[in-house]
């Protein structure tokens, strides 16, 4: 185990040796975990390695906390709907968790079932059931626990991301500052020596919480996937990072009349850490079940679906149309663009049954669907980029929905788009459109740099797995029969 140099944020406090610590305890923290198998080609993460590391750090002597996002998106969750994550968390000895937006991707009923299956406690302070005022789908609103002789209060606070997922009509969001202040003060009144907020929101809102609610002593956040920390108003904000690439270990020392001293360490979870044998068996069980489930039919197509490279990268494909239509419907967008290079296998499917395995093979990269606000001029620039390397059969070629475009490949790159229509109307260069794309394109991949800084409607942290979006679309519309309908016109 090699600790990253994110230690000693409060090392200066250790110099205050004259102060007597009233109590101490340790925390293990993680956030935004989507995979129980190792990630990044097996180099990092994985529940079996994490199980080993937790044991080496003292196991249940630590207060083990999670800051949301586990039930989705992943290939495994497309089958088990997060059940595998709860099973693993139970075996790791997780104590408390708060909700992330992806806990509701499958609706409130599934979220409620996952909560029932949890041997740990979910805390939902400002996401409540509007009918009862209680924590949502079976969660509690706060917790007060005596941990190693220290009274620790716990809150679960979120951003208002309800429109980006599917929490159902009974979900009510309450202001995180006002609600956080109310319950932090209540916990202090009940004798809490340390109040910890488990949060799932942007760092900017974590900073606002720390600045406006001094009664909170430590913020353990999620939603941001990179490791990060800040100290605001004397309160440490700590985010461990996504997918168990890292594991946070924080030691907390209480001092009468002062903020607690927090000394955090972050461990890299890599292949140097051996896998726990029992957890490895659990992961293998789910992997085998996934393989079997992926072969189950999800619907059928009445026509051949064309994923051939020479088609999806050079002309309109009926499969490209279907994928883009699924993206646009999911995102409730004006239009959608899918880079042809993201459509793989180079073969034709059907007519006949379609399986999840087919769709995840066609869309293998683990991309999520996002949506951006762009003006007509930027939309045209995106299409120009898409056809700029047509003669080289490059992957940037745009399959589209809600768009018709005409281009001349014989003209110079950047001047090939002749006409563009959005939902039947000529493109207005000054009008704002909402366009669904994948997160690879959103990062500027395949030359789509115009999307990098475009305002998000659905951002990368909230988007649903592209392959799952297409699976859902096929299940909803089966049997499907997309046809080439003149969305892309090549003028020569």
- Mean confidence (pLDDT) of the chain: 94
pLDDT tens column, 416-448: 999 999 999 999 999 999 999 999 999 999 999
Query: Is the CB of residue 209 less than 8 Å from the CB of residue 180?
Result: yes
- pTM of the complete model: 0.82
Q: How many Cβ atoms sit within 10 Å of the Cβ of residue 118?
A: 18
Rg (Cα) of the chain, in Å, rounded?
A: 25
pLDDT digits over 42-99, tens only?
Answer: 999 999 999 999 999 999 999 999 999 999 888 899 899 999 999 999 999 999 999 9
| Pair (199, 337) in one structural domain | no
Percent of the chain at pLDDT > 70 equals 96
Residues 374 and 475 in one domain: yes
**In this model, does residue 7 exceed pLDDT 90?**
no
Residue after which a domain boundary falls, among 256, 290, 324: 290
Please tell me whether residues 261 and 301 are part of one structural domain.
no
Whether pLDDT at 15 is above 80: no
For residue 272, pLDDT over 70 is answered with yes
Q: How confident is the model at residue 165 (pLDDT cuts 50, 70, 90)?
A: confident
372 & 476 share domain? yes
* CA 54 – CA 463 distance, rounded (Å): 30
For residue 457, is pLDDT > 90?
Answer: yes
Res 5: pLDDT: 36
Boundary of a domain, candidates 290, 310, 326: 290
pLDDT tens by residue, 474-485? 999 999 999 999
Cα 28 from Cα 15, distance rounded (Å): 24
Is 328 found in the same domain as 245? no
Is residue 13 over pLDDT 80? no
Same domain, 10 and 135: yes
* CATH, residue 126: 3.60.21.10
Mean pLDDT of 388-400: 96
Rounded Cα–Cα distance for residues 110 and 113 (Å): 5
pLDDT of residue 240 exceeding 70, the answer is yes
Q: State how far the Cα of 173 lies from the Cα of 156, in Å rounded to an integer.
A: 12
Instruction: Look up the CATH number of the domain holding residue 471.
Output: 3.90.780.10
Pairing state between β 246-254 and 335-339? unpaired
Helix (H) or strand (E) holding 436: strand 432-438
Q: How much of the chain, in percent, has pLDDT values that exceed 90? A: 91
The whole-number pLDDT of residue 365 equals 86
Judgement on whether residues 315 and 281 belong to the same structural domain of the protein: no
Cα dihedral across residues 409, 437, 328, 353: positive or negative? positive
Q: Which residue has the tokens 């880079």?
A: 339
Q: Are residues 398 and 266 in the same domain?
A: no
Neighbours of 175 (CB within 10 A): 12
Is there a single domain that holds both residue 286 and residue 301? no
Strand 335-339 to 432-438 pairing? parallel
| 231 lies in the same domain as 312 | no
Q: Is pLDDT above 90 for 9?
A: no
Number of domains in the chain: 2
Task: Specify the pLDDT at position 18.
Answer: 40
Cα–Cα distance measured from residue 65 to residue 98, given in angstroms and rounded to the nearest whole number: 9
- pLDDT tens digits, 220-237: 999 999 999 999 999 999
Domain, as residue range, for 410: 297-490
Task: Tell whether 321 and 270 lie within a shared domain.
Answer: no
Residues 162-167 have a mean pLDDT of: 87
pLDDT(20) > 80? no
Q: What is the pLDDT of residues 105-132, one digit of tens each?
A: 999 999 999 999 999 999 999 999 999 9
Q: Are 386 and 472 in a shared domain?
A: yes
Q: Which of 290, 308, 339 is the last residue of a domain?
A: 290
Q: How many Cα atoms are found within 13 Å in the side-chain-facing hemisphere of 110? A: 21
């Amino acid at each position: 185990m090699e600790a990253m140099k994110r230690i000693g944020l409060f090392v200066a406090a250790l110099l205050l040796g004259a102060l007597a610590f009233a109590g101490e305890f340790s925390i293990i923290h993680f956030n935004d975990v989507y995979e129980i198998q190792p990630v990044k080609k097996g180099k990092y993460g994985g529940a079996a390695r994490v199980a080993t590391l937790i044991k080496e750090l003292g196991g249940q002597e630590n207060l083990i906390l999670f800051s949301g996002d586990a039930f989705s998106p992943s290939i495994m969750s497309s089958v088990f709907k997060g059940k595998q994550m709860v099973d693993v968390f139970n075996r790791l000895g997780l104590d408390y968790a708060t909700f992330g937006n992806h806990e509701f991707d499958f609706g409130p009923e599934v979220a409620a079932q996952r909560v029932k299956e949890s041997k740990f406690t979910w805390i939902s302070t400002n996401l409540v059931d509007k009918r009862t005022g209680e924590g949502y789908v079976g969660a509690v609103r706060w917790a007060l626990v005596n941990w190693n002789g220290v009274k620790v209060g716990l809150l679960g606070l979120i951003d208002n991301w309800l429109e980006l997922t599917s929490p159902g009509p009974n979900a009510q969001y309450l202001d995180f500052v006002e609600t956080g202040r109310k319950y932090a003060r209540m916990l202090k009144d009940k004798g809490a020596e340390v109040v910890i907020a488990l949060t799932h929101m942007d760092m900017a809102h974590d900073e606002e919480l720390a600045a406006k609610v001094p009664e909170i002593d430590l913020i353990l956040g999620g939603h941001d996937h990179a490791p990060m920390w800040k100290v605001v108003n004397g309160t440490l904000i700590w985010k461990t990072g996504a997918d168990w690439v890292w594991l946070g270990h924080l030691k907390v020392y209480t001092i009468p009349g002062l903020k607690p001293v927090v000394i955090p360490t972050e461990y890299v979870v890599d292949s140097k850490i051996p896998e726990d044998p029992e957890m490895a068996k659990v992961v293998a069980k789910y992997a085998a079940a996934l393989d079997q489930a992926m072969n189950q039919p999800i619907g059928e197509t009445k026509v051949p679906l064309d994923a051939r490279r020479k088609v999806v990268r050079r002309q309109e494909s009926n499969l490209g149309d279907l994928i883009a239509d699924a993206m646009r419907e999911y995102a409730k967008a004006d239009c959608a663009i899918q880079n042809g290079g993201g459509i793989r296998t180079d073969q034709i499917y059907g007519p006949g049954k379609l399986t999840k395995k087919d769709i995840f093979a066609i869309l293998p990269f683990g991309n999520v669907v996002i949506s951006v606000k762009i003006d007509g001029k930027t939309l045209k620039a995106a299409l120009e980029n898409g056809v700029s390397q047509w003669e080289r059969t490059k992957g940037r070629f745009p399959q589209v929905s809600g768009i018709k475009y005409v281009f001349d490949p014989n003209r110079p790159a950047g001047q090939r788009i002749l006409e563009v229509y959005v939902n039947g109307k000529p493109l207005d260069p000054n009008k704002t459109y909402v366009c669904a794309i994948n997160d690879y394109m959103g990062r500027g991949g395949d030359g789509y740099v115009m999307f990098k800084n475009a305002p998000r409607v659905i951002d990368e942290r909230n988007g649903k797995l592209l392959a799952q979006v297409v699976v859902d679309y096929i299940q909803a519309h089966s049997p499907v029969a997309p046809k080439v309908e003149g969305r892309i016109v090549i003028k020569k």
